[in-house]
């Protein structure tokens, strides 16, 4: 049974409605970030509150236009092709990823007084393919300095429970950071509403052409969510050099199937067969919340297994 006081606390911290707060609570519990009343309070005070950043409309615009710029080659080569229909989704997905990077940039400034430069601010993508943070400037320093370590940032949605990195990519970066970005699915429509594309262009033309009456256009416009401040939860990170081919898991055994609730390290599909034999399962071995991962070779961590404490972050920062 859900604890309504817990839901309310999450809602107040993240500025979420009750439904989204419940989802966030359930997924954080299932992924092992807390387990009971006392650990919930510790999680709220020492993990969630300290690691939440809010993005504003200006942040969204910056990242949306940056992502559009980065997709120019995609547009030039694929408009008019069978892949043209994918451009809008690619733009939305890239914007989401860039917003996660922006959230981490603001996190570094807020928590550690470190200014940073994202890879898509200057230079070509290929120059910084294994790092999303290009350079940093600590308090008291006069100019940006290149990093000694590489940081890869992955952005997931409200209900994300797992950090999964393809095996070929995992050791190309020193650190992998996971950001939970709490953003409406149709966030680009909200952005278009903010910059008046709908009201002053599209809907105005629809009224002029007789497709909408004025009040119908106004009602439609009002149904589009506004672009409010966007919460981002800096969930934690892993250090790639700590993991080779080993893995640890926990789970729960059902009558037929086995559900993995915790995983830390290397993943191959063949490992699930090993677990099936070890746990004497006649059915399937699945991951909680996601069932199966699409790739065969990866490194996987539930969010409860990420590094997130003050000392963890200070160790990362010191190594940069």
Least trusted range by pLDDT, from 53-62, 126-135, 165-174, 185-194: 126-135
- Give the mean pLDDT of 42-64: 95
Model confidence pLDDT, tens digit, residues 89-98: 888 889 999 9
According to the 3-state scheme, what is the secondary structure of the chain? CCCHHHHHHHHHHHCCCHHHHHHHHHHHHHCCCCCCHHHHHHHHHHHHHHHEEEECHHHHHHHHHHHHHHCHHHHHHHCCCCCHHHHHHHHHHHHHHHHHHHHHHHHHHHHHCCEEEECCCCCCHHHHCCCCEEEEECCCCCCCEECCCCEEEEEECCCCCEEEEEHHHHCCCCEEEEEEECCCCCHHHHHHHHCCHHHHHHHHHHHHCCCCCHHHHHHHHHHCCCCCCEEEEEEEEEEHHHCCCCEEEEEEECCCCEEEEEEEEEEEHHHHHHHHHHCCCCCCEEECCCECCCCCEEEEEEHHHCECCHHHHHHHHHHC
% of residues, the chain, pLDDT over 90: 66
- Average pLDDT score over the chain: 89
Each domain of the chain, given as residue ranges in start order, spans: 4-184+229-319, 195-223
Task: Supply the pTM of this predicted model.
Answer: 0.89
pLDDT for 82 equals: 53
pLDDT for 300 equals: 97
% of residues, the chain, pLDDT over 70: 92
Model confidence pLDDT, tens digit, residues 212-251: 999 998 898 888 888 889 999 999 999 999 898 889 999 9
pLDDT for 78 equals: 54
124 pLDDT tier (thresholds 50, 70, 90)? very low
265 pLDDT tier (thresholds 50, 70, 90)? very high
Evaluate if residue 311 carries a pLDDT over 60.
yes
Least trusted range by pLDDT, from 18-22, 42-46, 76-80, 190-194: 76-80
pLDDT for 127 equals: 44
pLDDT for 77 equals: 53
């Amino acid at each position: 049974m859900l604890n309504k006081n817990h839901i309310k606390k999450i809602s107040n911290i993240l500025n979420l409605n009750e439904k989204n707060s419940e989802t966030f609570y359930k997924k954080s519990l299932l992924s092992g970030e807390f387990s009971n009343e006392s650990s919930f309070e510790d999680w709220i005070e020492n993990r969630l509150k300290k690691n939440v950043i809010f993005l504003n409309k200006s942040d969204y615009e910056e990242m949306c236009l940056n992502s559009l710029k980065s997709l120019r080659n995609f547009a030039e080569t694929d408009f008019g092709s069978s892949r043209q229909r994918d451009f809008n989704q690619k733009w939305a997905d890239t914007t989401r990823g860039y917003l996660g990077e922006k959230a981490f940039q603001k996190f570094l400034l807020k928590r550690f007084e470190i200014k940073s430069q994202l890879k898509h601010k200057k230079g070509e993508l290929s120059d910084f393919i294994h790092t999303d943070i290009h350079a940093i400037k600590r308090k008291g320093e006069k100019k940006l300095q290149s990093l000694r370590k590489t940081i890869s940032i992955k952005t997931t949605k409200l209900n994300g429970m797992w950090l999964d990195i393809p095996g070929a990519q995992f050791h190309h970066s020193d650190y992998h950071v996971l950001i939970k970005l709490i953003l409406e699915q149709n966030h680009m429509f909200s952005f278009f509403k903010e910059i008046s594309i709908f009201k002053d262009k599209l809907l105005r033309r629809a009224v002029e052409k007789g497709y909408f009456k004025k009040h119908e256009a106004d009602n439609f416009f009002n149904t589009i969510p506004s672009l409010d401040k966007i919460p981002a939860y800096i969930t934690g990170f892993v250090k790639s050099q700590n993991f080779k081919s080993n893995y640890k898991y926990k789970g729960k055994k059902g009558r037929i199937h086995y559900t993995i609730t915790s995983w830390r390290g290397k993943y191959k599909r063949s490992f699930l067969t090993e677990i099936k034999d070890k746990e004497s399962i006649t059915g399937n071995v699945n991951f909680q919340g996601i069932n199966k991962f699409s790739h065969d070779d990866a490194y996987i961590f539930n969010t409860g297994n990420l590094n997130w404490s003050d000392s963890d972050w200070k160790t990362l920062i010191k190594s940069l």
